[in-house]
């Protein structure tokens, strides 16, 4: 989450409003956002899917701290953009930094790639690992020299 704090609420006040909502959820006075459909697009949460969050549609002042609607993260981001709380160029910059930081090679110098489960890892080393454990028959002897 990119928070620039450029609009009228401080990051601390936003945090405070979110904490108040979390307390209500914990005591069961309002439902968990994941249990409600997205107020904007109707998206229904399933385990592993994009999460829902409570959006403070009246702002983060104490008086409106509990004026919230459950929206999915995608709609939440769009709302934040529309309200000017976050800026598109900041999101782009954050994404660019993330991809730069991502390692392209493992410690043995193999190229890393995205696995079928979406995780970023070295395929070569995974294969060696499984071979060593005897899960995959093959050339564990040669693979030891990497």
Which residues bind to Zn ion, rule: CB under 5 A?
Answer: 38, 40-41, 43, 72, 75, 106, 108, 110, 122, 124-125
Three-state DSSP at 104 gives coil
* Number of other residues whose CB lies within 10 A of the CB of residue 12: 10
- Identify which of residues 5 and 49 has a Cβ nearer to Zn ion in the complex: 49
Q: From the CB of 38, what's the least distance to Zn ion, in Å? A: 3
Q: How far is CA 27 from CA 22, 32, 112, in A?
A: 9, 10, 44
- Identify which of residues 36 and 125 has a Cβ nearer to Zn ion in the complex: 125
142 sits in which H/E element: helix 140-143
Q: From the CB of 112, what's the least distance to Zn ion, in Å? A: 7
Residue 141 has which token pair? Answer: 């002897």
Measured distance CA(73)–CA(5) in Å, rounded: 19
Q: From the CB of 107, what's the least distance to Zn ion, in Å? A: 7
Q: From the CB of 12, what's the least distance to Zn ion, in Å? A: 27
Query: Helices (DSSP H) in 4-138: which residue ranges?
Result: 11-26, 73-82, 88-101, 123-132
Kindly state the greatest CA–CA separation across the chain.
68
- Identify which of residues 17 and 69 has a Cβ nearer to Zn ion in the complex: 69
- Identify which of residues 66 and 106 has a Cβ nearer to Zn ion in the complex: 106
- Identify which of residues 49 and 84 has a Cβ nearer to Zn ion in the complex: 49
Q: From the CB of 45, what's the least distance to Zn ion, in Å? A: 10
């Amino acid at each position: 989450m990119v928070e620039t704090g450029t609009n009228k609420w401080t990051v601390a006040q936003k945090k405070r409003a979110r904490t108040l909502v979390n307390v209500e959820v914990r005591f069961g006075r309002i439902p968990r956002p994941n249990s409600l459909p997205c107020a904007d697009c109707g998206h229904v949460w399933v385990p592993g899917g994009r999460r829902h969050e409570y959006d403070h549609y009246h702002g983060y002042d104490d008086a409106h701290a509990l004026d919230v609607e459950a929206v999915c993260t995608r709609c939440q981001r769009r709302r934040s953009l529309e309200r000017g709380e976050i800026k598109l160029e900041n999101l782009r910059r954050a994404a660019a930094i993330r991809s730069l930081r991502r390692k392209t090679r493992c410690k043995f110098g193999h190229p890393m790639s995205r696995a079928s489960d979406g995780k970023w890892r070295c395929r070569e080393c995974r294969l060696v690992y499984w071979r060593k454990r005897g899960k995959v028959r093959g050339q564990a002897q040669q693979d030891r020299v990497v």
